[in-house]
Amino acid sequence: MPCESIAKYRPGGLHPVTLGTIICSPTARYRVVQKLGVGGFSTVWLVEILGTPGIAAMRISSAQSTPPGQDDVLRHIAMMESPPAHFVAIFDRFKMEGPNGTHEVIVMEILAPVTAALYWMTGCFRPSSAVPNAGSSGMPGATQGRTSAAATRKAITRSLVEAVSEMHAAGIVHGDLHMCNVGLELAGLASGSDRNKRYIKRTPETTVVLPLDPILEAYSSHWPPYIVEPWNFSSYLRDLGTDQLTPVVKIFDFGSGPIAWNGPIPRPASSTR
């Protein structure tokens, strides 16, 4: 699985994070449990919200690389009386000082990657587990399995279209929308049930950071002591099942989304045939 380059840990770069670290904002405390992934200008971590059973995703941006337009979009969303249903819920937002500078931190609802979710939501339908129904192939349940998978794909596609429509209606033009900045609702994990917590606390793979050149030791305060392998969402969905997923797409990364206008997009008049 992809990991970030150690060269990104430098003044102005990524913030070094270790598992078990407690990160405090003015309103809450978070314990780092797993790494969820790596972006072009950030790392994303799975965190426990201390004092509550909840679990969230924490994105820590590079010190000098806050994505363009992000501040405007987040302020725009914060001013909405009722944020769109297809926007990720943002729980906290604050600045954090570290050896590499000042970092923007956003704590948000945890979502499942669409690609992993699609595989397990649609690829796991098997005739043996479907309701008996003689299809054209003669195999009991074959038609039912295909229908269920197709219906799931259609529901996710429809939800994605609704998400883009809501974003445009809110006056936001994304500019770089792709499968890596949208996800599916994962209420079962976010609730922090005991079963989920036991699973997410499994020890991840790590690689110790050791400089080959002794001269580089002088810069070791800018690096983490080890690089953490991203958490395997696919294994989680395989082992705990997809019953916690809902086919509701949410946009969680608005990094390059400028505010195009202050008011909502006028709804086109419906035409009749």
**Buried-exposed string 248-259: b where 16+ CB fall within 10 A, e elsewhere:** bbbbbbbbbbee
Residue 272 has pLDDT above 70, yes or no: no
- Domain of residue 167, CATH code: 3.30.200.20
**Buried-exposed string 40-76: b where 16+ CB fall within 10 A, e elsewhere:** ebbbbbbbbbeeeebbbbbbbbbbebbbebbeebeeb
Q: Is 270 inside a domain boundary?
A: no
Task: State the pLDDT at residue 65.
Answer: 73
Q: Is 258 inside a domain boundary?
A: no
Residue 271 has pLDDT above 60, yes or no: no
Q: Is 256 inside a domain boundary?
A: no
Q: Is 263 inside a domain boundary?
A: no
Range of the domain at 28: 6-251
Q: Is 26 inside a domain boundary?
A: yes
Measure Cα distances from 134 to 122, 140, 141, 222 in Å.
Answer: 20, 4, 6, 63
Q: Is 267 inside a domain boundary?
A: no
Three-state DSSP class for residue 21: coil
pLDDT, average across residues 41-54: 92
Total of domains in the chain: 1
User: Is 148 within 8 Å of 222 (Cβ atoms)?
Assistant: no
Q: Is 243 inside a domain boundary?
A: yes
pLDDT tens per residue, range 191-201: 766 666 777 87
Q: What does pTM read for this prediction?
A: 0.80
Name the band, by pLDDT with cuts 50, 70 and 90, for residue 68. Answer: low
Bridge pairing between strands 101-108 and 90-98: antiparallel
Q: Is 266 inside a domain boundary?
A: no
Residue 212 has pLDDT above 90, yes or no: no
Task: State the pLDDT at residue 15.
Answer: 96
> How many helices (H) does the chain have, and how many strands (E)?
6, 11
Residue 84 has pLDDT above 80, yes or no: yes
Highest mean pLDDT among 6-15, 82-91, 177-186, 206-215: 6-15
> H helices of the chain, where?
70-78, 114-123, 142-169, 187-190, 194-200, 233-240
Q: What percent of the chain has pLDDT over 70?
A: 78
